[in-house]
Amino acid sequence: MIAARAAALAAAAWSVPALAPIVPHVARAMRIPTVLASSGDVAITFDDGPHPQGTPAVLELLAAAGVTATFFLVGEQVRRTGSLASEIAAAGHAIAIHGDRHRNLLRLTPGAIAQDLDRAADTIGPADLHRAPYGIYSWPALAAVRARAWTPVLWSAWGRDWARGATGASISSLVLRDLHPGGIVLLHDADDYSVPGSWRATVSALPRILDAIGERGLRTAALPQGL
């Protein structure tokens, strides 16, 4: 009984950082930002790209609105999509790291985590912000990210745009429900790790989200370095 309880407590302690995306006080305790320090700004972020169709569609909408965003890129997708990562940067958006492959870091050994981060950095280039796939960090992952002088980043609002059945209306409704000054919004410009075609719903939702940000008197900004 005692041994089983000790094992359960150890397992729970090991997985504490994984609760950060859904338990704000855990994120604060882990020193993982979910909001901006400047309360007048809102940061729009995109995970999982680049994507040959989703990313250009998102870039077009952002350009039309005069908005900059932050793209958390996956190394294997950067290699597959050629110049798209450069096009994101050339458009004035911030580049951040989402990993080399889209894997749950809680399931990787410290050595595998280090290899993934290093290959991502080699492919994606200079960046100092990192978001774990699924937002799930482990203690070794947090240590490895911070050892590279990167800042782990989560979010305060999301549209669950990766889910089956998500629509432009459902995505924008969820984002706007939780959108506050200083918020960090999570969206996805790719469908390689989610429901096929889900990026289309994100593209449908984005204009309404951007309009609502402006109507609320807020500004959009890329995530600052060293958030």
Catalytic residue annotation: 47, 188
Residue 71 tokens read as: 């793209």
Q: Return phi, psi of residue 41, to 5°.
A: -110, 155
Q: How is residue 48 annotated by DSSP?
A: S
Sign of CA dihedral 181, 48, 69, 55: negative
- Compute the distance between CA of residue 159 and CA of residue 145 in angstroms, rounded to an integer: 26
Contacts of 76 (CB under 8 A, 6+ apart): 100, 101, 102
